[in-house]
A and B are shown apart, each in its own frame.
Chain A
Amino acid sequence: MKKNFGLGEIQRMILGAIKNPDQPHAELSSVICEKPPITSQQRLRIYQEAYKNRMLESLRDDFPRVEKILGSDEFDKNAAMYLESHPSRYASLAEASQHFPQWMKESSDELYEAASVDWIEILASHQVEVDRQNVLGPQEIGMGIPFVIIKNATLFSFIGKTDIFVSYRSWGEIRSRQMRPEEFHFFQMISGRMEVEELAKLVESLRMDEGQLQNLFSNWVRDEVIYCKRRDEC
């Protein structure tokens, strides 16, 4: 006898079948129409495959470093376990990835670190590009034009076991680099917008090697970790 299922019952059965393709779902023979050109099981499989492929592909795209360490097969196994324990309750696939680094922490520090760096790259990619109006190049800085120092506001950091990783946007690209703890400490002490005189005082208080600091600073300007903007027009 045909059983009339309500909308909620149908949806719970279909959701269960899509998420658990390896289990039998005999009850669905009373739910899905059996009609050529393909069987009802083949019809269901289209949704099962699409779900699996979509979710795995999204995680692979978001965490390339983790996939590189684990290899494709092992990554997929881990991703499937993650999805089982963290089913998406979010509107976008990007949001559904957000707990993956923390989940990876249970496997190893190396994987946690790799996933966290991948994640800060994603967050940096969502930021607004730096406003380049009145940004000074190294030559102009050398000419003595008064300037202020501005931190790249798109920068996200992750403090690993031994290294500190930063990711940020520059000319539409996402750049990532490692910082030594003392470099990062110095970077953190720079406020969002800083006068040169304030910076000089900070350098003095830190008692850092001047040559080393100059080198660090010009690298940061070159790599756009910080910007120098004309003081009078900023």
Chain B
Amino acid sequence: MKSLFNDLGVGVGLRPPHYAEIKEQKPKSISWVEVISENFMAWKDSPMAGAQENLLQIRKDFPVFLHGVSLSVGSVDVLDKNYLERLKQLVDMVQPAMVSDHLCWTGVGGENLHDLLPIPYTTEALNLISQKIDQVQNFLGRRILIENASTYLEYQASEMSEWEFLSQLLAKADCGLLLDINNVYVSSVNHGFDPKTYLSHLPIDRIGQIHLAGHSTMDGYLVDTHDHPVCESVWELYRWWNNEFGPVSTMIERDGNIPVWAELESEVQRITEVRSEKKLRLG
């Protein structure tokens, strides 16, 4: 089945410690960068002009993916118009290759807890979220990607599995999926399901991007901390996925204990290696 999205190769989540290297060295190991949208969106007391200028400089050399954390499509609150307007300003300015956010709610009653909170997989949530994604896509004038979040609790109210919910949502909202394989792995350990069952049931044609990241192992569960290298189990899942379904734009996310660029770059290069295994096999 033909994908709705082009494979743009290998990327990285761009964070401030690596701005200088990416700007000056323009590393060949990456074809694009992803940034957190909210870190570049203007607000009342700050137009964020410095950050935006940095991003526009990088944009000259690399396509940019905008990845948000506060759209809160899963909340019963109506969409925040002011937020959407600011996001649109950024989208118009950066002309990103992809725009994404999470399948989650971040707050209710106007409050923002700044976390990616899990939703119950119900018909009520499905209808609400698909309508909200539709509104966002109409407002931005483009298709967006929704990412599966790591979760630590499940609701008694759920009527279906996460992968069933996602599959229905993607079709109903006509949006794409940002597949975070680490999140699938973290949730599979926390809730006791088979990650390959999850991955096998997703509509391949709607997957526009893949995230790989590290997590922390706690006493009996995993937390999606993005402060470690990608673990071997996640690399194995990615390898399996790539062999089964083919390459999709893939990147590494690192938000804590951020290593020097050379170290992170070696992880990024591993994505290229895994992707080429499939090509070799096909060759």
Contacts and interface: CB of A to CB of B under 8 A. Distances in A.
A interacts with B = yes
Interface of A: 2, 4-8, 10-12, 14-15, 18-19, 30-33, 35-38, 40, 42-44, 46-47, 50-51, 54-55, 87-96, 98, 122-123, 125-129, 154, 169
Given A7-B120, A7-B124, A46-B152, A91 B115 contact: no
Contacts of A15: 107-109, 111, 113
B168 to A, nearest CB: 16
B135 interface: no
B41 A7 contact: no
B257 interface: no
B50 A35 contact: no
Contacts of B152: 43, 46-47
A33 B70 contact: no
The 6 A-B pairs with the shortest beta carbon distances in the complex, nearest first, are A43-B153, A91-B70, A8-B76, A11-B108, A92-B38, A37-B220
A31 B49 contact: no
A3 to B, nearest CB: 9
Contacts of B45: 98, 123
B246 interface: no
B53 interface: yes
A126 B41 CA distance: 11
B53 A129 contact: yes
Given A91-B80, A92-B43, A126-B46, A32 B114 contact: no
A126 B155 contact: no
A98 B45 CA distance: 9
A36 B47 contact: no
A128 B50 contact: yes
B231 interface: no
Nearest to B151: A43
A123 B156 CA distance: 45
B245 interface: no
24 contacts: A7-B124, A11-B76, A11-B105, A11-B108, A11-B117, A15-B109, A19-B113, A31-B155, A38-B220, A42-B221, A44-B153, A47-B115, A51-B113, A87-B111, A88-B107, A88-B114, A90-B43, A90-B112, A92-B39, A92-B41, A94-B43, A98-B44, A98-B45, A126-B46
B117 A14 contact: yes
B42 to A, nearest CB: 9
Interface string B120-163: 10101100100000000000000000000000111111100000
A12 B108 contact: yes
Contacts of B107: 15, 88
Contacts of B43: 90-92, 94-95
B119 interface: yes
Point out which of B47, B113, B154, B192 has the most chain A C-beta atoms below 10 A from its C-beta: B113
Nearest to A88: B112
A126 B108 CA distance: 29
Nearest to A119: B45
Given A15-B107, A50-B115, A88-B113, A35 B154 contact: yes
Given A32-B155, A33-B156, A96 B114 contact: yes
Contacts of B114: 51, 54-55, 88, 93, 96
